Structure 1
Amino acid sequence: MDTLNSTNQSDFNIFTQKVLPSLYFVTCVVGLSLNGVAAWIFFRVPSESGLVVYLKNMVVADLLMVATFSFKVAAETGLGGWFIYAIICRYTAVLFYSSMYVGILFMGLISLERYFKIVRHNSFSATCMPTLCRVSFLHHLQSVGFARVLALLTWSLLFFVCVLPTVAMTSLPANETNARNCMELKTEMGVKWHQVCTYFSVSLFWLTLLVLVFCYTSIACQVYQSYRRARCNNSIHRKSNRSIFSILVVFFICFVPYHVCRVPYTFSQVYGTSFSRKTSFLLLQLKEGTLFLSSFNVCLDPIIYFLMCQTFRESLLRKLSGRERRSSMTTAQSLSKI
């Protein structure tokens, strides 16, 4: 049994110290490239709708997540010594998780905005009084000003609940004795607040999941009814399909597996005596593997930007076509000189 446990431990060390750092490095390079292009395009176009505001904030959250990958790769490959673990515990890990949940919340806001645009817009226009429509929360989700206020509240919520208290209640170690154990760097209040942040963040995820399921189930029903009424007009059907599949596929691939594993993993950390060593070890492996899937959303989110935002799509295609024209002109000029 001890030999089997040591073999499993060795295999897990290979997974965490060899495989995962390589995957994170590739994800960092690809994610930085894609989101760098997305940021370059997005911040050259005006925020003409609430959807664009939410998508721009998702780009910022993804760039912040990507910035933390290099620290994780350096730590797992032995670069930077013990001090880099202290930096991760106090700063980059907090930034990683906060940025991830900010992105999740913006997915929820995008889903609500799409729900109003596709499902509720027509019924609001037809049945409600103008005054009631103006005070509707869903109605204001498409407003640029209101979207900016929600974006500020979203960032502030995660900053003041998770980032600021965690940084304040986590100290930097004087040596490498406890540098790799983040919980030992926290004060007694910091340990308790860490549990609060964990339950708070996970609750935000499950709430967002319920919002997505409700919104896109309603959207799918609305699209199906519209498609049956007017089979010759498929534009709404195609646009809604993009909204449904781009958000849902990314959300379920990246975030659902991690949070399904996070629940038993959290219980194993809080009530460790109730779990066998083998079970705790397995949960740790699942947690690290599914956490990488959550990180991979930085490579998939640009698909959402391209499929859901017409301004982004047209700007990107315009840039690409312009570059192709310049390349073809340069080639033609070179050939003419031969």
Structure 2
Amino acid sequence: MKATNNFSYFRNDSNCTSDNKISQVIFPLLYTILFLVGITMNGLATWIFFKISSKSNFIIFLKNTVISDILMVLTFPFKILSDAKLVPWVLRGFVCQVTQVVFYFTMYISILFLGLITIDRYQKATSPFRTSTTRSLLGAKILSTAIWISMFTLSLPNMILTNKKKTPKNVKKCALLKSEFGLVWHETVNYICQLIFWVNLAVIVVCYMLITRELYKSYKRTKCAGKAASKKTVNLKVFIIIAVFFICFVPFHFTRIPYTLSQTRHVFECSAQKTLFYLKESTLWLTSLNACLDPFIYFFLCKSFRKSLLNMLCKHAPPSALGTRTAEQNEGDDTEETPL
């Protein structure tokens, strides 16, 4: 009963909005940059991955990540137009009900697949000559499908329960469009997503501690200083995954719980709600940046992706650059993926 009263009381506090030039100009401009870069890079990545066969768990997880990133990037124009108020207020209702839900849906899919990619990289570090079997490939595909279905099942009620009548006033805050149970579900899903994030953060940190130990042991075994330096340069590429994860996802998840409480319960004053809104929007932009940084993971860690990209560039490169790109293409190991 207390929770219901809190939710009901929140609805009466609908005049605390954050409409100003920052949310109408700065953030739309930043998302426009992300959209242009993201659609270009992920469009290219999608085209390249369609030409690569799914012959390892690693590539299967990367393909799922690029699909997730493409879906995320396609939500950006709706947010840009809505926040900049360049379209009728009705679109804001659509953003609250559909595209915003898709955005978060794809965010946590990306987080889950980054966790799986990290586990795969750890296995590569401990068993560098391990190859994927038909059974393991099937398992990776089943796991990937299960992730999509599970996250969709969690997200769909957030669309259905955003079912209040839309007006120019209540579309300013998406929480005002949710039913009472919709607010409860939204808060519950937020806690589930927080759990997903923290579990994956723990997995990634532990895996990278173990990977670092393997790299150190490998470094100690190498007696030749020149050879060691060369190998170290290649090995450090794997740390791009943890760098992307910490840049994009960690700041937002320290902000999301208090922000969600400010949207679903009356526990903050208006000034605190506005501060949390700007923190959430700033860290959310960093989360969106993930769609532009993931292609660097594909390039540095997936030899098949890098080889296909360089082959494509060679077709359009002048003769003078052909030799350099061919040398880059042949650099590294003879296996499917960049070694640790």
- With structure 1 as the length reference, what TM-score do the two structures score? 0.83
Q: Check if 1:242 corresponds to 2:237.
A: yes
1:316 Cα deviation from its structure 2 partner = 0.5
1:174 Cα deviation from its structure 2 partner = 5.0
SS of the residue aligned with 1:20? Answer: helix
CA–CA distance in structure 2, aligned partners of residues 209 and 42 of structure 1: 27
1:157 Cα deviation from its structure 2 partner = 1.0
Q: Do the aligned partners of 1:141 and 1:147 also contact (CA within 8 Å) in 2?
A: no
Change (3 A) 1:281 1:328: closer
Q: Do the aligned partners of 1:54 and 1:109 also contact (CA within 8 Å) in 2?
A: yes
Residue 172 of structure 2 aligns with an amino acid whose one-letter code is R
Q: What's the counterpart of residue 148 of structure 1? A: 141
SS of the residue aligned with 1:171? Answer: coil
Change (3 A) 1:197 1:326: farther
Change (3 A) 1:211 1:279: same
Residue 141 of structure 2 aligns with an amino acid whose one-letter code is R
SS of the residue aligned with 1:47? Answer: coil
CA–CA distance in structure 1, aligned partners of residues 150 and 133 of structure 2: 20
Match of 1:203 among 195, 217, 236: 195
For residues 150-176 of structure 1, what are the alpha-carbon distances to aligned partners after superposition, in whole Å with 9 as ceiling and x for unaligned? 1101111100012x2112222263543
Q: Check if 1:194 corresponds to 2:219.
A: no
Q: Check if 1:26 corresponds to 2:37.
A: no
Within 5 A, what are the aligned runs for 1:27-46?
27-46=34-53
Q: What's the counterpart of residue 226 of structure 1? A: 218
CA–CA distance in structure 1, aligned partners of residues 273 and 164 of structure 2: 28
CA RMSD of aligned residues (A): 2.6
CA–CA distance in structure 1, aligned partners of residues 149 and 249 of structure 2: 22
CA–CA distance in structure 2, aligned partners of residues 265 and 66 of structure 1: 23
Q: What's the counterpart of residue 94 of structure 1? A: 101
For residues 263-306 of structure 1, what are the alpha-carbon distances to aligned partners after superposition, in whole Å with 9 as ceiling and x for unaligned? 33234445533x34433322221111111110011111110100
Which range is displaced more, 55-64 or 282-291?
282-291
Q: What is the number of residues matched between the two proteins? A: 303
What 5-or-longer segments of structure 1 have no aligned partner? 1-8, 126-138, 330-338
Q: Check if 1:258 corresponds to 2:252.
A: yes
Change (3 A) 1:189 1:326: farther
1:311 Cα deviation from its structure 2 partner = 0.2
CA–CA distance in structure 2, aligned partners of residues 174 and 219 of structure 1: 51
Q: What's the counterpart of residue 312 of structure 1? A: 305
Change (3 A) 1:179 1:327: farther
Which range is displaced more, 52-61 or 232-241?
232-241
For residues 33-53 of structure 1, what are the alpha-carbon distances to aligned partners after superposition, in whole Å with 9 as ceiling and x for unaligned? 000000000111111100001
SS of the residue aligned with 2:20? Answer: helix
Q: Do the aligned partners of 2:170 and 2:177 also contact (CA within 8 Å) in 1?
A: yes
CA–CA distance in structure 1, aligned partners of residues 31 and 180 of structure 2: 32
Change (3 A) 1:165 1:326: farther
- The share of aligned pairs that are identical, in percent, is 40
CA–CA distance in structure 2, aligned partners of residues 277 and 171 of structure 1: 25
CA–CA distance in structure 2, aligned partners of residues 327 and 13 of structure 1: 52
Q: What's the counterpart of residue 180 of structure 1? A: 172
Q: Do the aligned partners of 2:175 and 2:264 also contact (CA within 8 Å) in 1?
A: no
CA–CA distance in structure 2, aligned partners of residues 191 and 261 of structure 1: 18
Change (3 A) 1:42 1:184: same
Q: Check if 1:77 corresponds to 2:98.
A: no
Residue 54 of structure 1 aligns with an amino acid whose one-letter code is F
Which range is displaced more, 182-191 or 33-42?
182-191
Change (3 A) 1:146 1:325: farther
1:315 Cα deviation from its structure 2 partner = 0.6
Residue 272 of structure 1 aligns with an amino acid whose one-letter code is H
Q: What's the counterpart of residue 7 of structure 2? A: none
Q: Check if 1:106 corresponds to 2:113.
A: yes
For residues 221-279 of structure 1, what are the alpha-carbon distances to aligned partners after superposition, in whole Å with 9 as ceiling and x for unaligned? 110111111244547644432112x1011111111111112233234445533x34433
SS of the residue aligned with 1:312? Answer: helix
Match of 1:13 among 10, 20, 42: 20
